[in-house]
């Protein structure tokens, strides 16, 4: 099996796993315990927090460990929106339809169940949330804007600093979902100037089931998991010590190896994009042609059932992904793809190919040799 789905998840780096293992059976203490075993675990969590803060250029007390990227998004949106409204009454939330569901569904819930007002920010044909679209939407009653750093389905990178500047000038809290971006982009919160930023470990060779939320000092947050006083009383629950240790080590390694990881995947990605568009008729790139994640290629093929194509690829030994969350019966195109303006006959045929540390030229060559005939096969079956 050739794995081309690193945007869905990544294998745990061996060095990360080696760091984690002692915290399962040797140093298994509860960081909240007073005894030495507890203190040892607490020291590991403290060290992890410092490591994460160093990569983010934030302070350790601005890092909240969570159970995943989705939880970080939930805590950021719900926690900050409610705290903001409690403090000064603002009711509007701004986000876009290209956001991960962890953000967009949370925003919809805030509208439905918590009486917030929700406005969807426009995106351009590349899926970029532009400064103009944010400028157009802000008003004096806006509580929070949330715009993702890089899109998981189409790879587009948003101008986070430019957006954050507008938010700041209008006294609006700004959150960015950097879960997909952190594997390749600089997550320096001083440069980005955001109030809140979400991260998830398994997108950058850390374990699944652990994430972090950066919360700039002074940003009010209502906890959504109440109980013990862990994580500055913002997120109750006994610390998942090995996973937190693994998360920090994985993030540390990304920062250290960012350039070589980028120069490893980028030429392979460019080869995929170039050859697919050249060799497959009725194919288009989705997302931004240049301003996109270096490991990310995504396409739509006209009159192709994306799910069928994935099955054909799987049978041929390639693990890829599609934007459309279509199940058998009633396929619905992905909202991210349709928000770029593609009609249904294009939007249903989406394919995402994402690379990582173990990708190599032989794999890509073999993929590029196989894909055109599988697209034609899927097209043939679509017509029947």
Ligand X SMILES: *Cc1c(COP(=O)(O)O)cnc(C)c1O
| Size (the chain), residues | 384
CB of 347 to ligand X, least distance (A): 20
Q: For this structure, is 326 an active site residue?
A: yes
Kindly state whether residue 127 participates in binding ligand X, applying the rule CB under 6 A: no
Among 29, 200, 246, 306, binds ligand X (CB under 6 A): 200
Residue of minimal CB distance from ligand X? 69
Of 200-208, 260-268, 274-282, 333-341: span binding ligand X (CB under 6 A): 200-208
Binding of ligand X at residue 177 (CB under 6 A)?
yes
Among 153, 101, 136, smallest CA distance to 288 is for 153
Q: Detail the DSSP E strand segments found in the chain.
A: 2-3, 63-66, 92-96, 117-121, 142-146, 173-177, 196-200, 211-215, 283-285, 296-301, 318-319, 350-354
- Exposure letters 281-317 (e unless 16+ CB within 10 A, then b): eebbbbbbeeebbbbbbbbbbbebbbbbbbebbeeee
SS3 354: strand
Nearest approach in angstroms of CB 157 to ligand X is 12
Tokens for 116? 């917030």
Asked if residue 203 binds ligand X (CB under 6 A), the reply is yes
- Which residue stretch of 173-181, 214-222, 226-234, 329-337 sits at the interface with ligand X (rule: CB under 6 A)? 173-181
DSSP 77: I
Q: Which of residues 57-116 bind ligand X (CB under 6 A)?
A: 68-70, 73, 100, 102
Nearer to ligand X by Cβ, of 74 and 359: the residue is: 74
Stretch that binds ligand X, among 31-39, 177-185, 335-343, 373-381 (CB under 6 A): 177-185
Please say which residue, 42 or 153, places its beta carbon nearer to ligand X.
153
Residue 68 Cβ, how far from ligand X at the closest point, in Å?
A: 3
Which of these ranges, 22-30, 56-64, 176-184, 230-238, lies near ligand X under the rule CB under 6 A?
A: 176-184
Q: Sign of dihedral through CA atoms 281, 283, 284, 285?
A: negative
CA distances from 163 to 16, 101, 158, 192, 195 (A): 34, 21, 9, 9, 12
- Of the residues 98, 180, 240, 334, which one makes contact with ligand X according to CB under 6 A: 180
Positions in 254-293 near ligand X (CB under 6 A): none
Q: Which residues bind ligand X (CB under 6 A)?
A: 68-70, 73, 100, 102, 148, 152, 177, 179-180, 200, 202-203, 211
Catalytic residues: 326
């Amino acid at each position: 099996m050739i794995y081309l789905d690193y945007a869905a998840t990544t294998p745990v780096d061996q060095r990360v796993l080696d760091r984690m293992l002692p915290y399962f059976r040797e140093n298994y203490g509860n960081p909240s315990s007073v005894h030495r075993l507890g203190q040892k675990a607490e020291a590991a969590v403290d060290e992890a927090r410092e490591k994460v803060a160093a990569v983010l250029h934030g302070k350790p007390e601005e890092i909240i460990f969570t159970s995943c990227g989705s939880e970080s998004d939930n805590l950021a949106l719900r926690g900050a929106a409610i705290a903001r409204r409690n403090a000064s009454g603002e009711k509007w939330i701004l986000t876009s339809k290209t956001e991960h569901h962890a953000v967009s569904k949370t925003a919809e819930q805030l509208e439905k169940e918590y009486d917030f007002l929700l406005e969807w920010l426009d995106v351009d044909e590349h899926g970029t949330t532009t400064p103009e679209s944010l400028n157009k939407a802000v008003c004096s009653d806006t509580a929070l804007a949330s715009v993702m750093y890089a899109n998981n389905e189409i790879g587009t990178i948003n101008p986070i600093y430019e957006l954050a500047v507008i938010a700041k000038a209008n006294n609006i809290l700004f959150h960015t979902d950097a879960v997909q971006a952190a594997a390749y982009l600089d997550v320096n919160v001083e440069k980005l100037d955001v109030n809140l930023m979400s991260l998830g470990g398994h997108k950058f060779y850390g374990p699944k089931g652990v994430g972090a939320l950066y919360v700039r000092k002074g940003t009010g947050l209502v906890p959504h998991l109440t109980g013990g006083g862990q994580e500055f009383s913002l997120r109750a629950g006994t610390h998942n010590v090995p996973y937190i240790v693994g998360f920090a080590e994985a993030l540390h390694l990304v920062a250290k190896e960012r350039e070589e990881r980028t120069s490893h995947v980028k030429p392979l990605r460019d080869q995929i994009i170039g050859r697919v568009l050249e060799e497959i008729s009725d194919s288009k790139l989705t997302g931004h042609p240049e301003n996109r994640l270096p490991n990310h290629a995504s396409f739509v093929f006209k009159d192709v059932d994306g799910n069928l194509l994935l099955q054909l690829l799987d049978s041929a030994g390639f693990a890829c992904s599609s934007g459309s969350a279509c199940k058998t019966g009633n396929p619905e195109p992905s909202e991210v793809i349709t928000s770029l303006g593609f009609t249904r006959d294009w939007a249903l045929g989406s394919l995402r190919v994402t690379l990582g540390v173990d990708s190599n030229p032989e794999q890509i060559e073999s993929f590029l040799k196989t894909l055109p005939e599988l697209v034609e096969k899927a097209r043939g079956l679509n017509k029947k």
